[in-house]
Amino acid sequence: MATALHPLSVYDPESVPSATPYRFAVVVSEWNTAITSALASGCIETLEKHGAGNIKVFHVPGSFELSSAAGKLADTGRFDAVICLGCVIQGETRHFDFICEAVANGLTQVGIQYKIPTVFGVLTTQNQAQAEARSGGALGNKGVEAAVTAIKMADFFDKADQPEA
């Protein structure tokens, strides 16, 4: 969670392993595109900053579609991590609750089923101002946080598969 004391884009670069050996899929929701484009930019810049050279970007209509897209990409075996970026802003109905819960559960299930890091880079905010603050504004960029998480988890999965020395 981003706060004034812990912005999303602040991290210790020295604690992030090299992303060079890993292949990343970045799935970006087209809904709330101004926000999700900013998340994608932060994510891709961070991956590249840490040496990633194999990044494929895919677009889906909305955040609800992130789970099925992540599952499809994970099923190909072509990626070491799938990063899902979206933005769901609270409205007047319970639609917000259903979408947020479905996406969180869906991405969790993809990660478990395919044994691949599946990163939840989805903003779930009460209003546009909160989304803007978390997509490159005053509280940083959730896309940066998602990229760092993906790199660390790809490295974790890689090391977990290695036999003990």
Interatomic CA distance for residues 86 and 10, integer angstroms: 20
- Note the pLDDT of residue 85: 98
Q: Is 96 exposed, middle or buried (0-12, 13-18, 19+ CB in 10 A)?
A: middle
Q: Which of 36-45, 75-84, 91-100, 131-140 has the lowest mean pLDDT?
A: 91-100
Kind of pairing between the strands at 135-137 and 140-141? antiparallel
pTM of the model: 0.94
Extents of the domains making up the chain: 29-158
Interatomic CA distance for residues 36 and 87, integer angstroms: 6
- Note the pLDDT of residue 92: 83
Secondary structure element (H or E) that encloses residue 71, with its range: helix 66-76
- Note the pLDDT of residue 163: 86
* 6 CA to centre of own chain: 18
DSSP assignment of 6-32 equals B-TT---GGGSPP-TT-EEEEEEESTT
Secondary structure element (H or E) that encloses residue 140, with its range: strand 140-141
Mean confidence (pLDDT) of the chain: 94
| Confidence label for 165 from pLDDT (cuts 50, 70 and 90) | low
Question: What is the tens place of the pLDDT at every residue in 54-80?
Answer: 999 999 999 999 999 999 999 999 999
- Note the pLDDT of residue 161: 87
- Amino acid (1-letter code) at residue 52: A
CATH code for the part of the protein at 29-158:
3.40.50.960
Closest by CA position to 114, among listed 65, 150, 81: 81
Catalytic residues: 95
Contacts of 54 (CB under 8 A, 6+ apart): 22, 23, 24
- Note the pLDDT of residue 8: 76
